[in-house]
Amino acid sequence: MVAQRPTEMAGRKPSSKAIAFPEGMCCNRRMQPRITVLTLGVDDLERSVAFYRDGLGFATQGIIGTEFENGAVAFFELQAGLKLALWPRKSLAADTGLPLQAGAACELSLGHNVGSAGEVDAAMAQAAAAGATIVKPAQPTFYGGYAGYFQDPDGHLWELVFNPGLAEL
């Protein structure tokens, strides 16, 4: 059985792209936002683990999966139900079938929200001491907060931010 697309159900002309849904799955179901792992492709897994574990204090069991080809990975618990994974770029490319390519810092930023401007400054100092590149020193923002950016050893962009209105967004 092929379910109707929303445009067909509304009486609109369908596009040329047909979507076939598995039996019993209707097209009006939405994917539930359950992000559980953020994976960063890294060039040097040991260096990156040291940065996050030793420099930033993130808890990890260390590198696991070394017995498998392209299996070496490290996981860090960020908060309940959310982990950060560090996986070599070449392994990520091999697993996905995509060509190995350099990352681009402005494709994604990871936001670490804290409770005050002072906490932003402290976290920026810790990141710098761990070897991060400070991209933009912390400063007042246009929305009444306080934020700055750093890059980890592989160029991944992190924003350290105090946003007093975050809960209302």
- Residue 91 and residue 120 share a domain: no
Domain contains 91: yes
Helix (H) or strand (E) holding 118: helix 117-130
Overall number of domains in the chain: 2
Asked whether the beta carbons of 18 and 2 are under 8 A apart, the reply is: yes
How far apart (Å, rounded) are the C-alpha atoms in residues 149 and 7?
42
pTM: 0.78
Full domain range(s) for residue 147: 107-169
In terms of Cβ atoms closer than 10 Å to its own Cβ (0-12, 13-18, 19+), residue 21 is middle
pLDDT score for 134: 98
Asked whether the beta carbons of 160 and 150 are under 8 A apart, the reply is: yes
pLDDT confidence of 1, banded at 50, 70, 90?
very low
Structure tokens at 96: 């996905």
- How many other C-beta atoms lie within 10 A of the C-beta of residue 52? 21
Last residue of a domain, one of 42, 73, 96: 96
Per-residue pLDDT of 81-135, as tens digits, reads 899 999 999 999 999 999 998 888 888 899 999 999 999 999 999 999 999 999 9
Per-residue pLDDT of 14-45, as tens digits, reads 455 666 666 666 666 777 788 899 999 999 99
The CATH number linked to 60 is 3.10.180.10
